[in-house]
Amino acid sequence: MPHLKFKEMVPTYGFDDVALVPGDVTINPDQTNIDFTIGNFKFSIPILASAMDAVVDPTLAIKFGKLGGLAVLNLEGVQTRYENPDEILEQIAQAPQIEVTSLLQKIYSAPIKENLIADCISTIKQGGVTCAASLTPANTKRLAPIAKEAGIDVLVVQSTVTTAKHISKSYQGLILSELCQMMSLPIIVGNCCSYSSALELMRTGIDAILVGVGPGAACTTREVIGVGVPQITATMDCAAARETYFKKQGKYVSVITDGGIRIGGDLCKAFAAGADAVMVGSPLAQAMEAPGRGYHWGMSQPHPVLPRGTRIKVGTVASLEQILFGPTTVTDGTQNLVGALRTSMGVCGARSIKEMHKVKMIIAPAIKTEGKYFQAAQNIP
């Protein structure tokens, strides 16, 4: 209507807005290749466990690594602030919902102990698996050398939004290109969610980006500050940046979709949207081995003045192995995530993740109304 348009806006899509189209050829699931590589490390499943205290502790990291994936330990969480993290995790699980945010604010205000960083990394390394762990940009300069010293294999630099350039009065921003040189090991940075910011990050020399702002099950970033890009669009835009950067520079920077994946269907769609791997939180928090004891909370929830997130009850439903590989009697897509990926690839005719990137995807909102006509018998005992 106006003579002058104030701003262009494009439509965007999340997991529930799209679906995959079967291929013209189908493939047996056991014929699919789902390897994921970062630096010289190769993983038999393209799944990372989120750097969240309810998901990863050293024990789970070892178990997850042995199952073929890569767990990321949060180096600024309860594992490095407390000598007795299990007691703290028990407190969080026991807290009444109404008091949990203030409890978390208190718990996460304890100082990070450098010796615990080293201990955690050593424990994981001794478990015989690749060790990945995360720091926030503000603490990376100080703590990354300690992590390197302790033998970390893959460093993750992560905050709600991380950009190649940060403007601050109080401290000199982290220079990612310097970090890459100093560490000389694979570096994953995130989160980002647009073509241009992904491209800027790739130019710093990092090895992979985490994609996703605002979509997680335990995240309220969008409510609190209005910011967020639905994951399918975010992944597609960042995958486009990867292609652009690879064409120009010859370096393939992996795209890891992080946040919002609840079920096998979501995970499959992330790959079709261009992901090389996915980072998963709440579905793994449901594992018997998960440190969260059936609860899950976001790493922004303990923010001292502007908490963003909510503790959700995910329950403890199965072993880590069952959640990843089945077998299962659950039919809602929350278990056997790897089986779901291989089956989806087979149905879509994709032999590899690169072929999965080419699968047709459609806009198809997930609205089901049969409940109007037939009784949903799911909950009848």
The yes-or-no answer on residue 219 being catalytic is yes
In the complex, the smallest distance separating the C-beta of residue 359 from its own copies, rounded to whole angstroms, is 9
Stretch that binds its own copies, among 112-120, 149-157, 174-182, 225-233 (CB under 8 A): 225-233
Q: Which of 84, 111, 184, 380 binds its own copies (CB under 8 A)?
A: 380
∠ CA 71-74-77, nearest 5°, is 145
In the complex, the smallest distance separating the C-beta of residue 86 from its own copies, rounded to whole angstroms, is 21
Q: Which of 113, 148, 222, 293 binds its own copies (CB under 8 A)?
A: 222
Q: Strands 208-211, 187-192: parallel, antiparallel or unpaired by DSSP?
A: parallel
The yes-or-no answer on residue 242 being catalytic is no
Which residues in 53-92 contact its own copies (CB under 8 A)? none
CB 131 within 8 A of CB 125: yes
Which residues in 150-189 contact its own copies (CB under 8 A)? 160-170
Number of residues binding to its own copies, judged by CB under 8 A:
136
Beta-bridged to residue 42, according to DSSP, are 37
In the complex, the smallest distance separating the C-beta of residue 367 from its own copies, rounded to whole angstroms, is 7
Nearer to its own copies, 22 or 145 (CB): 22
Closest CA to 342 of 285, 281, 271: 271
Choose, from 120, 180, 193, 219, the residue flagged as catalytic: 219
In the complex, the smallest distance separating the C-beta of residue 241 from its own copies, rounded to whole angstroms, is 7
321 lies in the site for its own copies, by CB under 8 A? no
Which residues in 290-319 contact its own copies (CB under 8 A)? 295-296, 301, 304-315
Nearer to its own copies, 105 or 122 (CB): 105
**What is the distance between the terminal CA atoms of the chain, rounded to a whole angstrom?**
56
* Cα separations in angstroms, 35 against 32, 44, 129, 351, 353: 9, 5, 16, 11, 8
* Cα separations in angstroms, 112 against 77, 117, 124, 142: 8, 8, 19, 11
Q: Which of 46, 266, 279, 284 binds its own copies (CB under 8 A)?
A: 266
Q: Mapping DSSP to helix (H, G, I), strand (E, B) and coil, where does residue 111 land?
A: coil
Stretch that binds its own copies, among 49-57, 63-71, 79-87, 332-340 (CB under 8 A): 332-340
141 lies in the site for its own copies, by CB under 8 A? no
Q: Mapping DSSP to helix (H, G, I), strand (E, B) and coil, where does residue 139 land?
A: helix
CB neighbour list of residue 116: distance below 8 Å, 6 or more residues apart: 79, 80, 81, 82, 83
Q: Which of 227, 249, 251, 288 binds its own copies (CB under 8 A)?
A: 227
| Distance of alpha carbon 225 from alpha carbon 227, whole angstroms | 6
Nearer to its own copies, 131 or 199 (CB): 199
Closest CA to 353 of 361, 364, 344: 344
Site string for its own copies, 230-259 (x = CB under 8 A): x--x--xx-xxx-xx---------------
Stretch that binds its own copies, among 44-52, 77-85, 115-123, 212-220 (CB under 8 A): 212-220
In the complex, the smallest distance separating the C-beta of residue 38 from its own copies, rounded to whole angstroms, is 21
Q: Which of 147, 262, 278, 320 binds its own copies (CB under 8 A)?
A: 262
Q: How far is Cα of residue 275 from the mean position of the Cα atoms in its chain?
A: 11
Q: Which of 68, 228, 259, 292 binds its own copies (CB under 8 A)?
A: 228
Please provide residue 289's backbone torsions phi and psi, each rounded to the nearest 5 degrees. Answer: -85, -5
Instruction: Quote the tokens at residue 21.
Output: 């189209």
In the complex, the smallest distance separating the C-beta of residue 251 from its own copies, rounded to whole angstroms, is 16
Please provide residue 209's backbone torsions phi and psi, each rounded to the nearest 5 degrees. Answer: -120, 150
Q: Which of 60, 192, 256, 278 binds its own copies (CB under 8 A)?
A: 192
CB neighbour list of residue 80: distance below 8 Å, 6 or more residues apart: 74, 112, 113, 116, 117, 120
In the complex, the smallest distance separating the C-beta of residue 248 from its own copies, rounded to whole angstroms, is 11
373 lies in the site for its own copies, by CB under 8 A? yes
CB neighbour list of residue 47: distance below 8 Å, 6 or more residues apart: 36, 69, 70, 267, 277, 278, 279, 280, 324, 337, 338
Q: How far is Cα of residue 62 from the mean position of the Cα atoms in its chain?
A: 18
Please provide residue 78's backbone torsions phi and psi, each rounded to the nearest 5 degrees. Answer: -65, -25
Which residues in 10-29 contact its own copies (CB under 8 A)? 10-14, 16, 18-28
Active site residues: 219, 293
